[in-house]
Amino acid sequence: MNKIRDLGRPAIFTLKPYVPGKPIEEVEREFGITGVIKLASNENPLGPSPAVTEALRAAIPHVFNYPDSNCFYLKKELASLHNLSEDQFIIGNGTDEILKMIGEAFLNPEDEVIHAWPSFSEYIFVSKLMGAKPIAVPLDRDFKHDLEKIAQNIKKNTKIIFLCNPNNPTGTILTKEEVRKFLEIIPPEILVVVDEAYYEYVNDPSYTSGVELINNKRVIVLRTFSKIYGLAGLRIGYGIANREIISMLNRVREPFNVNLLSQEAAVAALRDEAHLRQSKEIILEGKAYLYQAFERLNLEYIPSEANFIFVDLKMDSKVVFKALLREGVIVRTGDIFDHPTYIRVTIGTPDQNKRFITSLEKILRELAS
């Protein structure tokens, strides 16, 4: 018997450490190359707004102070943006932390959680962490959430349903009508967490935010500053829900969970609408270019409403992934999503997209010969 292992909570032995996208520096060290580009973690290729850089610089002398536990100014900004009140927001050290708070506040070991698959793996992590049981419902043939099957999987002990909208890694969306109807048919005591990490990129007019639904149901909407706002390294995201849910989440929140620099950066990021527009435009342009290139290369892809594309290479994508690394291009392999022939590529700047396609084309040609 291994004594130290016996000290761990049983739940932790159901967990595996998260495997993140490979960092640029690691690839440069490993292959002795420079100028590596990362199209693996859905970050904003333009970086943060210049206003963020300014705000951060101005905030540096104040870092000896504890941050505002209540994120007063950020909540004020968000309240005015969403036309809601400050007490309908919770701010987290990344959306990841809010997912964990949701688990800590609501999940008992006997509870079940439903999530689509493939989707964001953190839903499984928080469920298992709390000892609850995650139930994976496969996406439908169009790689969309199968809401009918999700509803069929509801049991007496179902506590939370996670909807990733747009879905990571497929970029598919649920329409306003689909979400509205789903909320009508499911039991009202189930919490529905709508993860909208890629909300800002969506173009499809049939899409709508879950924010419109937070008052009539037990809906929690999650947004992040990591993606279009370009603040992934600062770790900041937020949740929107009714006051009662927010007050429960605040019970499990660490007092100073969001650092001072991140709060300043987030406020500045929200105010720079021009940067937001520009960030969206460059993704739309890049998406059109990549779609065309995939079609030319005879590769099937899933049309995406987000800043990444899930594309089928029709061969073990780990082989292509490794070859791309040698070319200095980092993407994500689909095996982590149980789709081993796919890669997920983040849309980059025009130069980055071109470099990715040139490398991919060369690799596919070499592998075919």
Q: How far is the CB of 197 from ligand PLP (least distance, A)?
A: 4
* Amino acid of residue 298: N
Q: How far is the CB of 367 from ligand PLP (least distance, A)?
A: 29
Please report which residue ranges of 67-219 form alpha helices under DSSP H. Answer: 72-82, 95-106, 122-129, 147-152, 176-185
Which is it for strands 237-240 and 329-330: parallel, antiparallel or unpaired?
unpaired
- Select from 132, 127, 133 the least CA-distant residue to 100: 127
Nearer to ligand PLP, 307 or 353 (CB): 307
CB of 341: closest distance to ligand PLP in angstroms? 21
Strand-strand pairing, 191-195 and 219-224: parallel
Rounded Cα distance between 275 and 268, Å, is 11
**Nearer of residues 67 and 169 to ligand PLP, judged by Cβ:** 169
Helical (H) or strand (E) element with 322: helix 317-326
Contact 71, 236 (CB under 8 A): no
Neighbours of 222 (CB within 10 A): 25
- Contacts of residue 274, defined as CB under 8 A and 6 or more positions apart, other chains included, come to none
The CB-nearest residue to ligand PLP is 94
Q: How far apart are CA 280 and CA 228, in angstroms?
A: 8
Select 123 or 364, whichever has its Cβ closest to ligand PLP. Answer: 123
Residue (192 or 357) nearer to ligand PLP, CB = 192
Instruction: Using the minimum distance from each CB to ligand PLP, give the nearer residue, 17 or 35.
Output: 17
Cβ 172 to ligand PLP, closest distance in Å?
12
Binding site for ligand PLP (CB under 6 A): 42, 94-96, 120, 164, 168, 195, 197, 224, 226-227, 232, 237
Which DSSP string corresponds to 35-82? --EE-SS---TT-S-HHHHHHHHHHGGGTTSPP-TT-HHHHHHHHHHH
Smallest distance, Å, CB 301 to ligand PLP?
A: 18
Angle at the Cα of 37 (from 35 to 41), degrees rounded to 5? 150
Task: Tell me the closest approach of the beta carbon of residue 300 to ligand PLP, in angstroms.
Answer: 22
CB nearer to ligand PLP: give 258 or 293: 258
Give least dist CB 42 to ligand PLP, A.
6
User: Which is nearer to ligand PLP, 94 or 334 (by Cβ)?
Assistant: 94
Burial class for 254, CB neighbours closer than 10 Å (0-12, 13-18, 19+): exposed
CB closer to ligand PLP out of 168 and 263: 168
Smallest distance from the beta carbon of 102 to ligand PLP, in angstroms?
A: 12
* Selection from 190, 118, 194, 103 nearest residue 151 by Cα: 190
